[in-house]
A = this chain, B = another copy of it.
């Protein structure tokens, strides 16, 4: 992959958020509708995590949110960001801060 400059990276807004609600997407079997608290605001996300996590495994967890991703409508539901996950060999894990950091903390 081509290299990215530090200046380009600075345009990205990744934040520590907390999952407040986990609901089934009404029109897609593999998707959740999540409500996530970013401290400054709460957002709704559509996340393809249903095959990998039960709702109770996500609820209240601290996650990393790509907060200035262009919003999209996914099967009729607004998605205002993305939860960063690691994936290899069909194993999927969300990312989390190793220490307790305040909600809304910026990723640098």
Contacts and interface: CB of A to CB of B under 8 A. Distances in A.
Interface of A: 1-6, 9, 11-14, 16, 61, 64, 66, 68-72, 82, 84-89, 91-102, 104-108
How many copies of the polypeptide does the oligomer hold?
A: 2
B85 A108 contact: yes
A6 B71 CA distance: 10
B93 A95 contact: no
B94 A96 contact: no
Contacts of A104: 88
Given A3-B69, A64-B84, A91-B102, 11 more contacts: A4-B70, A6-B72, A9-B69, A86-B101, A88-B101, A88-B106, A89-B102, A91-B105, A92-B101, A94-B98, A96-B96
B89 A107 contact: no
